[in-house]
A and B are shown apart, each in its own frame.
Chain A
Amino acid sequence: MTSLLRRRARPETTDAPVISMVDVGMTYPNGKVALADVNVRIPAGDFVFLVGPSGAGKSTFIRLLIREQLPTSGVIQVAGRNLLRMRRGQVPALRRRIGIVFQDFRLLPSKTVAENVAFALEVTGTPGSVIRQRVPTLLSLVGLHDHAHHLPTQLSGGEQQRTAIARALVHDPAILIADEPTGNLDPVTSWEIIQLLIQINQLGTTVLMATHNQEIVNAMRRRVLALENGHLIRDEAAAAYEREY
């Protein structure tokens, strides 16, 4: 595994955080408060669950991290960059430092597994020689080497999510954000995806996973950030999923 994805030096938790939110608030123009006074510090190499009921602010939290939106108050730093001071032209470089996967996979149906992964490299101007070398490496990492020429419709849900994870890793990101990655998967496949995320985390990539899956959160005993009505109501290490959700 280490030969497939470059292993990062495991940083100490006292190092500069890879994600930092200070007094972050987000109020939409219609007056709805999506986030209020959120303070979070995630060190590099951490594995963090983001939990909370629907409408709690998880999606806004993620959109702010990838700078799809800007907060109405507070400061956000991701991978050493202050997102509020970032110019529009610098956003693509930030997003190459962040891999993201979704519940609905978001693969391009007309492209094969390998083409879906390669697409993420092509559109960022990566040379063909690098793409030809990088894509098989990533497909091996996620266990899809034999499915490289299959279309997404020929894959199971788990395989489609693996393809999406391979695509999220093309730029060797510092952070992998997984938004309900097991939401459309059966329990067995969900665990396979979690195992893959753990492996990626062990290689040094910080993983932030938004989920409703109580079983996984309880079994993993990792740090949990719990949101409710836009407020961070719990930030606990080695925590479990609690009944309030």
Chain B
Amino acid sequence: MSFLRFVGFSIVRAWQGFWRNAMMSLAATATVILMLVLLSALFIVITGLNSGLEFIESKVAVTARLRDDLPLAALTRLMDEVEEMPGVASVDYVPPEEAMRRLEESYREIGRELDLGDPDSNITLFASLEISLTDPDASSDVTARLSNDPDVERVLTKQAEYDTLLGVINAIRTVGLVIVVLVGLVVLFMIINTIRIAVYSRANEIEIMRLVGASDSFIRWPFLLEGILCGLIGSIVTILLVAGIWDPIQPAMVSIFQMPTAVSSRFLTTLSLLLLAAGLGIGAIGSWISVRSYLAAAR
């Protein structure tokens, strides 16, 4: 019962304190929102790019164009050897007719017909091996092995695309985290100052509280909750903003990043929890630093 009184007292005092110092509190809350919006953008982009990376990972395969008229025995030997390499999931033979069919299909997908000029021309495509991998890192070994094989005309791989995207993700992740951390420091500074001003403006009250025998908890927690309140309001506003623009964002994410639609609802929940934790955390840390330094000096 006394604990509930303490909680009730602290919440009421925090709420009163927030509005008594409304301009500063709202300014601190606005910076929390700014930080969380940036964090959301970073999270969305990074998650999307990671999803794209997974998509590419799943497709990373090595294609080996084979020398024309490769004897069946040589083809079988090559397939067996590659299949036994570590990190290789499967090896499929694509005959020239199948390669042609796929080429025609890909033209049809973009609304055009494949025009080979003279219908009687004897144009054929290369036969090839399509190697899918269980481990994308095995790509370089497989490529090296095939490049040195006299039966292989040319080796094609998606490793370059994969590496480029990985580089982009790492760069965005680093730059984004640096920006979020810098903005986070500004937010922390704002909250520390807001709570410090609140503490100083109530120095008389604090002194009276100490003199009449209020415990440290009764003195500290209203200020801690006031900082947490800035973080909580900032988080809720940001979550509502993200939820509001989620519908237009979602299809873009699916198409740009190849993100599975099924992930979307769980993604929003994860993002909301992240925003809530970040908002509450920075509010609590800022106000704790502020109250701790003041009360330690005042005691």
Residues of A within 8 A of B (CB): 66, 88-89, 92-96, 100, 106, 108, 119-120, 122-125, 127, 167-168, 170-171
Contact = CB atoms under 8 A, between A and B. Distances in A.
Given A125-B5, A125-B9, A92 B207 contact: no
B207 A106 contact: yes
Contact of B211 (A89, A93, A100): A100
Given A89-B216, A93-B213, A127 B5 contact: yes
B191 to A, nearest CB: 24
Contact of A108 (B9, B204, B211, B214): B204
Contacts, number: 55
Contact of B214 (A66, A94, A123): A123
22 contacts: A88-B299, A92-B214, A95-B210, A95-B211, A95-B212, A96-B213, A100-B211, A106-B207, A106-B208, A123-B212, A124-B212, A124-B214, A124-B215, A124-B218, A125-B5, A125-B6, A167-B208, A167-B212, A168-B212, A170-B212, A171-B212, A171-B213
B2 interface: yes
B215 A120 contact: no
Interface string B145-170: 00000000000000000000000000
A125 B4 CA distance: 10
Interface string B208-243: 111111111011000000000000000000000000
A73 B214 CA distance: 28
Contacts of B113: none
Interface in B111-145: none
Contacts of B204: 106, 108
B205 interface: yes
Nearest to A164: B208
Given A122-B9, A125-B5, A125-B9, A92 B208 contact: no
A95 B219 CA distance: 15
B223 to A, nearest CB: 13
